[in-house]
Amino acid sequence: MGGLMNRKFVKAAGTIFLFTLLYFLYVQDAQATHLRAGQIVATRVSCTGLTFRITVTVYTNTGSPVLFGGEMDYLDFGDGTKPILVPETPNTNDPALGPGVATASFTIEHTYPGPGRYIISYIEPNRNGGVLNMDNSISTTFYLETQINIDPFFGCNNTPQLLIPPIDRGCTGVAFFHNPGAFDPDGDSLSYEFVVPFRDKNQTVANYRDPNHPSFYTNYPNANEAGTGPPTFTIDPIDGTIIWDAPGAQGEYNIAFIVVEWRKVQGVWYKLGFVRRDMQIIIEDCNNERPDLIIPDDVCVVAGTTITATIFGIDPENHNVKIEAFSEIFNFPVTQSPATYSPVPGPNDFQPSNPPAQLQFQWNTQCFHVKELSYQVVFKITDNPPQGPKLVTFKTWRIRVVAPPPLWVNATVDFSNRSSQLTWQEYTCRQQATSIQIWRRVDSINFTPDECQTGMPAFLGYSLIGEVFAGQTQFTNTGLKAGAGYCYRLVAIFPQPGGGESYVSQEICIPAILADAPVITHVTIDKTSVNDGEVRVSWRSPFDASPIQFPQEPYGYDYIVERADGFTGTNYVPIHAGTLPGDTTILDTGLDTENRIYNYRVIALSEGQPFDQSAPASSVRLELRPSSRQMELTWSAAVPWSNQIQSFPEHYIYRGPEGATESELVLIAQKNIFERGFYFLDEGLDDNTVYCYRVMTRGSYGNPEIDVPQDNFSQIICEQPVDPDPPCEPVLIVDLEGFDCNDYRFQEACNSNTFSNTLRWNRPTDVECLSDTRSYNIYVASTKDGTYSLLATNVRDTFYVDSNLPSFARCYKITALDRSGNESGFSNEVCFENCPYYELPNIFTPNGDNCNDEFRAWGFVPPVGEENPGPNVLCNSADPNSETFRIKCARFVEQVDVKIYNRWGNEVYTYSGRKNDENGIYIRWNGIDKNGNALASAVYYYVANVTFDMADPAKRNQTIKGWVHLVR
């Protein structure tokens, strides 16, 4: 009902666009434009070569006499070779496309020079006229492109294929649906995203607007089908379904989207290439409601299962309907057991929808159908109203074909060699699988995978110990640890790009390995300290050792306990003097348990001689990752027992305040490690509080002779949650008012060339701001309001000296940092300025007596032909260190441009010079005019444009005008 009501609102919009549409259609006929939609696909002819079969498919306006291809229509292969002209190709009529639409295609093979990414493109001037959501479509070129990736790392690759034509119709006010029916022939994963239609490479069409743009509606806030909100226009990134809820103005719209292919290699997803599809949607003003589909739930099945299903189609107005199915699984060769459906309708084969229309689906799945991702079957239902356009609905059914689990035969143990022999049946899908993985854990665990759960779940605590060819049926596992009971499972692996893993097999276990060596049961941290930490190590005696072969004392065996660094370090040293007679526990003291991990082993002695040693076992290491108002805990240990046991699945989490000892921590949680592994999230914390944690693990050897659980503690570790808010902005304080440039020039030598600026600021007076501020960053710019760059970090003082500068002219801002590294906004800007000065004399006497021979500015000037500077003097008696000289010399001048005129206003001399250039800033005019003639004694006038080195751009330029008396 909402859709019908909403159509009343959009009819007015249709009227608004009617005249525009008629105009465009008229121009379209005049210009003979014809392309509505299209795409390019590429198929690699052979994986051993570089030749691709490239097909350009377009959808045309049958009202135009222009054919696809021709004089201005180019296909570019993207490899630098000359684009080719696509020959004129006649239309192919397809009644399923609707009135006024036909299709045409062109196929060619092309060989590429080598590996690389290539953009294959097609451009033609004849885009369909009258498109509403772009400007002047009649004069806009039509452009398609597809990217291919030739790379030995990825292997053979083909572009995605699109099964459903990019032309569909809809009604104003009724939600529009479309799906491209895409699949990847290599089994790569596909994603979908909208892009703007192109008119050339990297050039979008003019003034593109999404179809749900407000300009196409008269009642935009309530223009969806239900009349309850604004219209939406979306594409599902996973299955590609496009929903426009709901169209507004009637007319033709063009959109574009890319189908991106992804391939997983060694657990990492890589983007390979894409197909860019340009699509047209034709909206009419009609009185019709969408049909609907009832499809099965998504399903996972074991290869070998025959799937049968019924798809139902209904129409709210009881119009006849047609149900179609699109998927790669219908296109498999007969030898690869393709899926089938019936009836397969022709263009005009519609069936009643009351009772619901039916489509029967069947697929006998096989091992070669196994892959990691689901197959997508897109169903399309089309109604057949007595008048107006046919409406459609799409729905996607996902079918995942999973490999069966390998099946065990037997598992035997060789106690003397501490090894096991595993045997399984010949794998059902051995011709398609690449390998069988062998997984192992200590102690048994019950587990049956869910319907769609493949591979080995991480939370089960198994470790991958081997991988063999899929046709192999046995495996020998060596190096087993004394006292441990082991269990095994198998997983079959399938090749990329389709990939896939089988269901995990059932578990098979062997009896516990004989405890004929010491068996460590505990490595637990009793005390956390940097230099006074304690670790308690406990073990079971070699209770399965032969007393005849290895006799023991009345009190038992003697032992040596050794310690090494890290989880698996081997730099073992004894932790006690001599041997331990009969003891099975030792406290290791004086350790850095706060920062370091330790592992231990125990050596057993019989009659004073070592006869065997335990497997190494490490302490438990807890790590914290703080964030705002919460703390992530993860922990680990390298031990010969299992810390993931079904009988005691919970590890204990303890917490306390900063400085708390082991006994002061309290239990806050019991974490089931089969949910998320060795991980716990502590939430609802105070960002201003330090929290300390400790965990206790619970383990088992899977040996009925060894008590469970084996409880072991980690160290204590403390952290504070991250503060998400930046600190208060600081305020820079620089007293520039007391700085007098006259004093500076009076005191500083003319040739001073190193400078420094001192910044100062106060710590915040607000208590909260003060506690939140840890340090400061200093930023600098060369000009006022210029671009700032980082100068210094983590400054903890309230001042900073910026030294060894070429001048004072610099601007500064600072920011504050808190303990979490959050940075405040910038402080106020403070700029240091130079003390510029430039003075020219009003007399000079170019008579060769080396006294005042040149018209030049005051300052240290290199004499002609010499590199070392000297003072500009009025005569030889001038003192460059005098106050008069210092206060007049040129300072902080970058450039000087001078023009000199005679008394009649004629220019007689020009000069331009920059600091440190061959032409310096001092002018040094000797009274010769620009034509090389010596000027007569007279008064001359000058205009000097001086550029100073200043932080404030407004103060950089100054014009000095004056006169000078040339006396000969």
859 burial type by CB count under 10 A (0-12 exposed, 13-18 middle, 19+ buried): buried
Does residue 664 lie within any of the structural domains?
Answer: yes
Of 715-719, 722-726, 796-800, where does the model show the most confidence? 715-719
Residue 582: what pLDDT?
A: 76
On whether both 246 and 370 belong to a single domain, the answer is: no
| pLDDT tens per residue across span 592-635 | 999 999 999 999 999 889 999 999 999 999 999 999 999 999 99
For residue 184, give both structure tokens.
């990847």
Least reliable range by pLDDT among 377-381, 561-565, 834-838, 871-875: 871-875
CA torsion angle 512 513 518 520 (round to 10): -50
On whether both 87 and 220 belong to a single domain, the answer is: yes
Residue 862 banded pLDDT, cuts 50, 70, 90: low
Does residue 716 lie within any of the structural domains?
Answer: no
Residue after which a domain boundary falls, among 352, 378, 401: 401
Of residues 480, 611, 599, 596, the one with CA closest to residue 558: 611
On whether both 392 and 414 belong to a single domain, the answer is: no
Residue 875: what pLDDT?
A: 53
pLDDT over 90 at 925, yes or no? yes
Residue after which a domain boundary falls, among 454, 489, 509: 509
Pairwise pLDDT comparison (864 vs 680), residue with the higher score: 680
CATH assignment of the domain containing 492 = 2.60.40.10
Does residue 916 lie within any of the structural domains?
Answer: yes
Residue 768 banded pLDDT, cuts 50, 70, 90: confident
d(CA 751, CA 60): 80
For 381-397, what is the mean pLDDT? Answer: 93
Neighbours of 555 (CB within 10 A): 9
Residue 870 banded pLDDT, cuts 50, 70, 90: very low
Element housing 464 (H / E): strand 463-469
Strands 609-613 and 598-606: antiparallel
The residue to which tokens 């143990």 are assigned = 413
Pairwise pLDDT comparison (98 vs 276), residue with the higher score: 276
Residue 863 banded pLDDT, cuts 50, 70, 90: low
Does residue 208 lie within any of the structural domains?
Answer: yes
Residue 12: what pLDDT?
A: 37
Does residue 713 lie within any of the structural domains?
Answer: no
Domain containing 806 equals: 732-830
In one letter, which amino acid is 634?
Answer: T
Does residue 707 lie within any of the structural domains?
Answer: no
Residue 736 banded pLDDT, cuts 50, 70, 90: low
Strands 299-302 and 392-402: parallel
Of residues 603, 526, 609, the one with CA closest to residue 562: 603
Residue 16: what pLDDT?
A: 35
| 143 touches 358 (CB < 8 A) | no
Give the mean pLDDT of the chain: 91
| pLDDT tens per residue across span 111-151 | 999 999 999 999 998 788 899 999 999 899 999 999 999 99
Residue 918 banded pLDDT, cuts 50, 70, 90: confident
On whether both 248 and 269 belong to a single domain, the answer is: yes
Strands (E) in 720-838, as ranges, are 732-733, 755-761, 775-781, 789-795, 799-805, 810-817, 830-832
On whether both 126 and 245 belong to a single domain, the answer is: yes
On whether both 396 and 335 belong to a single domain, the answer is: yes
Q: Please state the φ and ψ torsions of residue 361, each to the nearest 5 degrees.
A: -115, 140
On whether both 528 and 629 belong to a single domain, the answer is: no
Element housing 526 (H / E): strand 519-527
Does residue 710 lie within any of the structural domains?
Answer: no
Residue 347 banded pLDDT, cuts 50, 70, 90: confident
For 175-193, what is the mean pLDDT? Answer: 94
Residue 72: what pLDDT?
A: 86
Residue after which a domain boundary falls, among 401, 417, 434: 401
> What is the Cα gyration radius of the chain?
42
Cis preceding-peptide flag for 291 (omega within 30 of 0): no
On whether both 641 and 584 belong to a single domain, the answer is: no
| pLDDT tens per residue across span 420-456 | 999 999 999 999 999 999 999 999 999 999 999 999 9
According to DSSP, residue 707 is labeled: -
Residue 555 banded pLDDT, cuts 50, 70, 90: confident
On whether both 886 and 927 belong to a single domain, the answer is: yes
Does residue 837 lie within any of the structural domains?
Answer: no
Based on the structure, what is the number of domains in the chain? 7
| 352 touches 346 (CB < 8 A) | no
Of residues 893, 966, 899, 867, the one with CA closest to residue 926: 966
On whether both 527 and 396 belong to a single domain, the answer is: no
Over pLDDT 70: what percentage of the chain? Answer: 93
| 182 touches 238 (CB < 8 A) | no
User: What are the residues whose beta carbons fall under 8 Å from the beta carbon of 773, sequence distance 6 or more?
Assistant: 727, 728, 730, 763, 764, 816, 817, 818
pLDDT over 50 at 797, yes or no? yes
Pairwise pLDDT comparison (271 vs 25), residue with the higher score: 271
pLDDT over 80 at 919, yes or no? no
| pLDDT tens per residue across span 92-109 | 988 888 888 999 999 999
HSE value, Cβ hemisphere, 13 Å, CA-based, for 255: 21
On whether both 945 and 796 belong to a single domain, the answer is: no
pLDDT over 90 at 740, yes or no? no
| pLDDT tens per residue across span 661-708 | 999 999 999 999 999 999 999 999 998 899 999 999 999 999 999 999
pLDDT over 90 at 362, yes or no? yes
On whether both 108 and 229 belong to a single domain, the answer is: yes
The conformational region for residue 267 under phi > 0 = left, psi -120 to 50 = alpha, else beta, is: left
For residue 827, give both structure tokens.
């402080």
Global pTM reads 0.76
